[in-house]
């Protein structure tokens, strides 16, 4: 224990934290909180105080814009792979609200439904190819399907047979966020390539060399203006458009986890097929709660304050335990069991279920594409469960918590795929 201005604080030194983060990965903050019996502890990094927090109350504090800002909280290596430099994730106040309105304008029921139609079409096309192959890896195929669909939805032209390459690039950008090794450099390279591609499209659109639907996300991002009326640079406009495309392709991680759960239990599959839409949504929410997707989120203290006896000084980096809050036994009974029924009749509150952030997507930093994630999982799982038949060979479905992001090691292998015969 260490004292800061007469306040007793649970603390780790930088070496201890690095060791446990490397070994625990997603469960790092959760495990330390449990061992220390606290919702808040500090990490003493030379020249920087890092504060780790978790739980519903902590999430409410973390998403308070009067207490925290995002600018400077996302490490540059993560910006160079996952989010892009100077993206919406790094903005605050009116600038964030203005850019967020752009993203939210695309999330209408009609737009989400149109995307699902495109995904269903891509699934049907892909399944014809799958039936001619000995086996496929669902994670890889999902990335390609989602890439095709979201690019068509956003008005982004894809060259013939270009989607496998672009899907791999989007996947590489996401796969790089939790490492500084070879995966990081692969992600940096992929981002440079994708940004160059999308920037060129935006420049061509602005100069009249490319015509697209004026209602498309590509068009709106290309012509978006900041609060002060200034036009985004073509590169920054590309970054924000990519922040629509990339997260959609990243749903491949959730699809792989969801298929692993759905086809591991005949009861789940039967209820998903025959049950009401409410069960499907409960199942999908439990997938998003139970499986590891985002380990933690970062922000910086706007103005100094004290919470739970700990001083949060202006400029301190604060990490919110996403995985641990989704597995907090004060919020969830038997949190390490997969129980879709737990969501039946449960009202999801702003800060107890942090699958894709906390708070409200319209005004805060909660992911604006959450509805797309839920509906896409419904679409894909329903197709897999009702439109095709396949065998699931012996494979490694475990996922390492020390790897960020993580997924079932073999990516969910499917064999002997054929369409379901329609009853006359």
Would you state the pLDDT for residue 179? Answer: 80
CATH of domain 2-419: 1.10.630.10
Task: List, for residues 154-168, the tens digit of each pLDDT value.
Answer: 999 998 789 999 999
Task: List, for residues 361-414, the tens digit of each pLDDT value.
Answer: 766 677 788 899 999 999 999 999 999 999 999 999 999 999 999 999 999 999
Question: What's the CA angle centered on 181, arms 180 and 182, to 5 degrees?
Answer: 135
Would you state the pLDDT for residue 317? Answer: 95
Q: How confident is the model at residue 74 (pLDDT cuts 50, 70, 90)?
A: confident
Please state the domain extents for the chain.
Answer: 2-419
Residue 276 in this model has a pLDDT that exceeds 80: no
More confident residue, 72 or 173: 173
The SS3 assignment for 216 reads: coil
Would you state the pLDDT for residue 71? Answer: 87
Q: How confident is the model at residue 119 (pLDDT cuts 50, 70, 90)?
A: very high
d(CA 51, CA 308): 12
Within 90-211, residue ranges assigned H as helices are 93-105, 109-130, 138-154, 163-175, 182-206
Question: Average per-residue pLDDT in the chain?
Answer: 91
Residue 6 in this model has a pLDDT that exceeds 60: no
Please give the backbone phi and psi of residue 25, each rounded to the nearest 5 degrees, phi first. Answer: 60, -120
Task: List, for residues 199-240, the tens digit of each pLDDT value.
Answer: 999 999 999 999 999 999 999 999 999 888 999 999 999 999
366 sits in the region (left: phi over 0; alpha: psi -120 to 50; else beta) called beta
Mean pLDDT throughout 66-72? 90
**Number of residues in the chain:** 424
* DSSP structural state of residue 159: -
Q: How confident is the model at residue 1 (pLDDT cuts 50, 70, 90)?
A: very low
d(CA 30, CA 35): 9
Beta strands 68-69 and 48-54 are unpaired
Residue 79 in this model has a pLDDT that exceeds 60: yes
Would you state the pLDDT for residue 423? Answer: 57
Query: Residue written as tokens 């061992």?
Result: 35
Residue 37 in this model has a pLDDT that exceeds 80: yes
d(CA 211, CA 106): 19
């Amino acid at each position: 224990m260490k004292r800061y201005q007469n306040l007793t604080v649970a603390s780790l030194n930088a070496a201890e934290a690095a060791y446990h983060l490397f070994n625990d990965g997603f469960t790092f903050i959760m495990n330390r909180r449990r061992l220390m019996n606290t919702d808040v502890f500090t990490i003493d990094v030379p020249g920087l105080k890092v504060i780790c927090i978790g739980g519903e109350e902590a999430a409410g504090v973390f998403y308070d814009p009067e207490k925290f800002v995002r600018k400077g909280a996302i490490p540059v290596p993560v910006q160079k792979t996952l989010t892009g430099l100077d993206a919406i994730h790094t903005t605050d106040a009116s600038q964030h609200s203005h850019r967020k309105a752009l993203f939210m304008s695309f999330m209408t029921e009609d737009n989400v439904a149109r995307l699902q139609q495109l995904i269903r079409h891509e699934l049907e096309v892909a399944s014809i190819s799958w039936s001619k192959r000995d086996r496929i890896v669902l994670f890889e195929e999902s990335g390609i399907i989602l890439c095709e669909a979201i690019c068509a939805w956003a008005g982004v032209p894809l060259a013939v047979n270009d989607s496998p390459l672009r899907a791999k690039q989007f996947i590489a950008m996401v796969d790089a966020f939790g490492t500084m090794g070879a995966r990081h450099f692969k992600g940096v390279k992929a981002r440079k390539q994708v940004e160059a591609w999308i920037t060129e499209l935006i420049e061509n659109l602005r100069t009249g060399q490319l015509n697209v639907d004026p209602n498309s996300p590509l068009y709106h991002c290309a012509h978006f203006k900041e609060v002060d009326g200034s036009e985004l640079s073509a590169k920054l406009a590309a970054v924000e458009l990519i922040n629509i495309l990339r997260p959609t392709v990243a749903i491949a991680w959730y699809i792989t986890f969801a298929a692993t759960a759905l086809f591991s239990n005949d009861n789940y599959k039967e209820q998903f097929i025959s049950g009401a839409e409410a069960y499907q949504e409960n199942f999908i929410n439990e997938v998003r709660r139970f499986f590891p997707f985002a380990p933690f989120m970062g922000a910086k203290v706007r103005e100094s304050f004290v919470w739970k006896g700990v001083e949060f000084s202006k400029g301190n980096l604060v990490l919110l335990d996403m995985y641990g809050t989704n597995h907090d036994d004060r919020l969830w009974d038997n949190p390490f069991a997969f129980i879709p029924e737990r969501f039946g009749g449960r009202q999801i509150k702003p800060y107890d279920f942090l699958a894709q952030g906390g708070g409200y997507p319209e005004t805060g930093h909660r992911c604006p594409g959450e509805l797309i994630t839920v509906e896409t999982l419904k679409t894909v799982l329903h197709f897999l469960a009702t439109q095709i038949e396949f065998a699931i060979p012996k494979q490694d479905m475990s996922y390492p918590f020390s790897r960020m992001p993580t997924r079932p090691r073999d990516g969910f292998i499917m064999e002997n795929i054929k369409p379901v015969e329609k009853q006359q």
